[in-house]
Amino acid sequence: MGSYSNLMLGCERFGFMANQNHRILMVSDFFYPNFGGVENHIYYLSQCLLKFGHKVVVMTHAYGNRSGVRYMTGGLKVYYVPWRPFIMQNTLPTFYGTLPIIRTILIREKISLVHGHQAFSTLCHEALMHARTMGYRVVFTDHSLYGFADVGSIHMNKVLQFTLADVSQAICVSHTSKENTVLRSGLPPQKVFVIPNAVDTAMFKPAPERPGSNEIIIVVISRLVYRKGADLLVEVIPKVCRCFPNVRFIVGGDGPKRVRLEEMREKHSLQDRVEMLGAVPHAQVRSVLISGHIFLNSSLTEAFCIAILEAASCGLLTVSTRVGGVPEVLPDDMVVLAEPDPGDMVLAIRKAISLLPKIDPQVMHERMKKLYNWHDVAKRTEIVYDRALECPNQNLVERLSRYLSCGAWAGKLFCLVMIIDYLLWRFLELWKPAEDIEEVPDIVLPCQSDGESLKDCSEDQCLR
């Protein structure tokens, strides 16, 4: 029951409502059954937009044998396009391979606006490109930060510049992320909106009573990889254990750095004080969180960090590295920030332990309810959609001039790619006219409200 109660609040219509109902296609390579920040964002945003009376369709690639059309909670329709991922859940970039199926979906579902997520999703880039060719307004959300130095980043930044050259509006999850995106893509800052992630506070409630007060439990839940600062943990944990005999650690998560953590535990004989849980399924994150007092985040780069929100919502005091968008996420009295340096982090944990008696998890939870809310996120996204639809539609030549200004060589290349896309689209229009594609009738589900999020309740129709 719990997870939905705060979403249901939205059923009582909000005072202000979009003057028209949008028909939105969300595109990303990352969606359920995968789990993570982007997946969560798309799911909750879609659910809230559905509640507001918009039509939302999600498009992603096939996961295992999950291919075709599925329905999720609240009648959220998901197209699992039968393209296989080839690396890190990404589809193989083919430029034009997805044009026919994207065109079919756009016409079948009478879509008015396409919303792509995540800069390293190839499906998202391709969908936005085809949608622009077909004259749809597109919105793009960037969920991650990129540097400017290494070859990978330079390549990704060029791809992003290509996609964003002609995007109607862009969204970033934090102000730092906005600065980063503006620098990477050369968009005017007025076109980039900052809309943070949120947390389903109903799913992350603090424990009715706090775990025993004679020992302090520090919880870490993250993938144990370099970028999440697992090496920092290896340095920090023994130091903290030496300073505070009443501190215990619970480390949830798996990854290549797990071996190093286990070595550290062995070396300092901390087996009874550092518990390693391995990968924690998302549904059990709360139960791990509420067993602790302090949440430790050691990321080296982070655009937003939903994990901190989940911890704060469970009433934990957060200690985090001061990187990326993390300082913007919580008010100063709910988080202790430290430089990504073991010594400074130990000091921060010391400060957090001294602050701990003043923290009331229930009060913290109530505050989080006011600070973050998916409905607020959806409302703000709705405004961006309205703005995107106000953008004047341009013809091909006007749009090409935007691409041309992207760089001496890249500009010409981008133009070529777009012209070919346009010709292919024209050819498809002749070969399979839009009138021949059957439109899907809109089914309005009776207001259903039961339980588990991400429950997938449908028959498996095959796509085409």
Piece in contact with another protein (CB under 8 A), picked from 101-109, 194-202, 217-225, 401-409: 194-202
Piece in contact with another protein (CB under 8 A), picked from 30-38, 74-82, 265-273, 329-337: 329-337
Piece in contact with another protein (CB under 8 A), picked from 226-234, 239-247, 275-283, 444-452: 226-234
Could you tell me the CA-to-CA distances from 57 to 34, 35, 85, 434 in Å, in that order?
17, 19, 20, 19
Which phi and psi (to 5°) does residue 119 adopt? -70, -25
Establish if 340 lies at the interface with another protein (CB under 8 A).
Answer: yes
Q: Which residue has the tokens 């607020």?
A: 376
Query: What amino acid occupies position 69?
Result: V
Piece in contact with another protein (CB under 8 A), picked from 88-96, 193-201, 267-275, 285-293: 193-201
Q: Which of 206, 292, 342, 411 binds another protein (CB under 8 A)?
A: 342
Establish if 267 lies at the interface with another protein (CB under 8 A).
Answer: no
Establish if 222 lies at the interface with another protein (CB under 8 A).
Answer: no
Return the structure tokens found at 4.
Answer: 């939905």
Q: Which of 83, 146, 295, 414 binds another protein (CB under 8 A)?
A: 146
Establish if 138 lies at the interface with another protein (CB under 8 A).
Answer: no
CB of 147 to another protein, least distance (A): 5
Distance of alpha carbon 222 from the chain centroid: 15
**DSSP 8-state code for residue 408:** H
Piece in contact with another protein (CB under 8 A), picked from 9-17, 23-31, 92-100, 316-324: 316-324
Return the structure tokens found at 161.
Answer: 């510049």
Distance of alpha carbon 4 from the chain centroid: 19
The DSSP result for 257-296, as a single string, is THHHHHHHHHHTT-TTTEEEEE---GGGHHHHHTT-SEEE
CB of 296 to another protein, least distance (A): 15
Could you tell me the CA-to-CA distances from 323 to 199, 304, 338, 368, 403 in Å, in that order?
20, 10, 9, 21, 33
Phi-psi region of 75 (alpha: psi -120 to 50; beta: other; left: phi over 0): left
CB of 454 to another protein, least distance (A): 25
Establish if 371 lies at the interface with another protein (CB under 8 A).
Answer: yes
Establish if 331 lies at the interface with another protein (CB under 8 A).
Answer: yes
Return the structure tokens found at 90.
Answer: 């990404």
Query: Using CB under 8 A as the criterion, which residues of the chain lie in contact with another protein when the complex forms?
Result: 145-149, 173-180, 182-183, 189-196, 227, 229, 231-232, 235, 260, 300-301, 303-304, 321, 323-325, 328-331, 340-342, 370-373, 376, 380, 383-384
